[in-house]
Chains A and B, each alone.
Chain A
Amino acid sequence: MNSLNFINPFGVREEPGSVVGDFYTANFSRKARPDTIILNLGPQHPSTHGVLRVIVELDGEYVVRAEPILGYLHRMHEKMAEVKTPWQYIPNMGRVDYLHPLAWNWAYVGAAERLAGIEVPERAEYLRVISCELNRISSHLMWWGAFVMDLGGVTPILYAFEEREKINDILQIVSGSRLTMSYFRFGGVSSDIDDRFERLTREFIPYLRERLKMYKGLVTDNVILRRRLEGIGPMGLDLCQRYGATGPILRAAGLARDTRRDIPYGVYPKLDLAIPSGPSDDCFGRYLVRLGEIEASLSVVEQALDALPGGPVRIDKAPKANWKLPAGETYFAVEGARGQTCVHLVSDGGRTPYRLKLRAPGFSNLSLFAEAARGTLLADAIAILGSLDLVIPEVDR
């Protein structure tokens, strides 16, 4: 029996050799076994967070093969960098990854500063650490709520949003926006913090620590969650390194690699940074690593607030809107909520950069999915997909 000869959802028997579905489905089904079914997860599926599409071949309820299809949210951010001046491109970085925009913001601004040899005032470096870590916490909170919602628990995301709104209130004071923030500028940050920023942040740190205890009772210790996650989707160190996975996924596999410590930037070397690395490489290990990172980030924010020096937040003669990058090539890596976020910037000294390459951690992390999902139950594949913490705009760029 030809593998293409199956009943399609509309009950019409396809003729052998005719193409069913679109290009991806047709090519995928050519390799399929005759006794399996092929299912499209997405692009509009509640558990694929945006417009990720995964084609899976199912034997009963077990996944035989899974293949992510990308590109539904491709917005040509790299090409846009070639037609916009460096200054005009800054707001784009907030749109690449809407959950941790400040990491991308930092990666781009840092690359341009490295190319131009700009020194950032120390106060601005501390402010960058504080805002970037607060943003990391909000990204992990959003992931936490969405992940538990994927597994069927709808309530926790509402708790997560309460905390997230508080962080948004804080970051709105300096960046002016609650999503797609852009706070860093060439040579510093756009504005200094005020008393309200400091008061809200200082109130927020003990508040979230209390809430994390509640999270443990409500979700982490919950028997249903643990049985859905423990031992599911192991991603060993070898798998992670073959696909170039970074961030919490690599750390859950037991390797405590973190750009903030390995390739230090900003004032991170001056701060005591705990890097949680997981007890296990399964979905639950990745869950614990991210919750551990929230606590670590809280401690970094606290230290940075205590050590915050005075002085300007932006250099004198900071680059203006018509600033041109000097000719040259540079690479700058920061640690985003999802892993190593890098910008490769090439300039020929013209009005706009010659080429910009964005290295999105989510793209490498998603590549693990096809291998990790093989042989699991479909419901577990959803848990694995959720545990990768994907932001599709960042994967597709």
Chain B
Amino acid sequence: MFRAIIDNLKGLWSLLVGLSITGRFFLSPQRTTHYPRQVDDPECLASYRGPLELVPADDEGRSRCVSCQMCVKACPGHCLTVVKGDQGKAPKTYLYDFTLCCLCAACVESCPAGAIRFSHRVYLVATSREALHLDLLADLKSRAAKEAR
């Protein structure tokens, strides 16, 4: 009987302790990031893996790619298509299907020329699947043109 009363009092006290903790956190400042009103610190996004992009070899939007097909062979999702150009080693097509990509970095790590990397396009959205079938050579050209301007 006496023990039951003590137990219940202890139980009641534990509830008060819990409530005081909840109360303390209720009054503490907001911890979440309210996108799009607020965005994350760019430092946190340094290792973010967005869709692949080609590394420019020069200012004119040429790629470092040597069409060796290592990335195509390494990719577990078969999301890359690289076709060698008619003259030299440079590719004439470099297609990338982002809908199949699992961002595993197998292509980036196996590229002997260091020609591909992950972009930091954090807020990329698309309304159709086709919009995520990316032509990386065209993307590289448009980025070079934007830089030249």
Interface residues in chain A, defined as those with a beta carbon under 8 Å from any beta carbon in chain B:
84, 87-92, 155, 159, 162, 169, 172-174, 176-177, 182, 185, 190, 196, 214, 217-219, 221-224, 320-322
Contacts and interface: CB of A to CB of B under 8 A. Distances in A.
A196 B47 CA distance: 12
A91 B18 contact: no
Contact of A320 (B43, B76, B110): B110
A91 B106 contact: yes
B104 A182 contact: yes
Contact of B118 (A88, A176, A320): A176
A155 B104 contact: no
Interface residues of B, number: 30
B14 A321 contact: no
Nearest to A321: B74
A223 B21 contact: no
B139 interface: no
B49 A221 contact: no
Nearest to A176: B49
Interface in B84-143: 102-106, 109-110, 118
A155 B22 contact: yes
B44 interface: yes
Given A176-B103, A222-B14, A223-B14, A88 B74 contact: yes
A222 B118 contact: no
A214 B31 contact: no
A90 to B, nearest CB: 7
Contacts of B76: 84, 88-89, 91-92
Interface in B4-52: 10-12, 14-15, 17-18, 21-22, 25, 31, 43-44, 46-49
A172 B47 CA distance: 7
Given A176-B47, A176-B118, A182-B104, A321 B15 contact: no
B3 to A, nearest CB: 15
Given A190-B109, A223-B14, A321-B74, A91 B102 contact: yes
Given A173-B47, A176-B49, A218 B104 contact: no
Contact of B21 (A172, A173, A217, A321): A217
Contacts of A218: 17-18, 21-22
B106 A88 contact: yes
A223 B15 contact: yes
A162 B75 CA distance: 34
Interface string B41-65: 0011011110000000000000000
> By CB atoms of chain A within 10 A, which of B43, B106, B110 has the most?
B106
Given A190-B109, A222-B15, A214 B73 contact: no
B82 interface: no
Contacts of A173: 46-47
Contacts of B14: 221-223
Contacts of B15: 222-224
A177 B106 contact: no
11 contacts: A87-B106, A90-B106, A173-B46, A176-B118, A196-B43, A214-B21, A221-B14, A221-B17, A222-B15, A223-B15, A321-B74
A219 B21 CA distance: 10
A214 B20 CA distance: 11
Contact of B104 (A91, A174, A196, A214): A91
A217 B10 CA distance: 13
A105 to B, nearest CB: 11
B70 interface: yes
A174 to B, nearest CB: 8
A176 B49 CA distance: 6
Contacts of A217: 17-18, 21
Contact of B11 (A162, A196, A219, A223): A223
Contacts of B74: 87-88, 321-322
Contacts of A222: 14-15, 18
Contact of B106 (A162, A224, A321): A321
By Cβ-Cβ distance, the 9 closest A-B pairs, closest first, are A223-B11, A321-B74, A91-B104, A88-B76, A321-B110, A176-B49, A218-B21, A221-B14, A223-B14
A87 B76 CA distance: 8
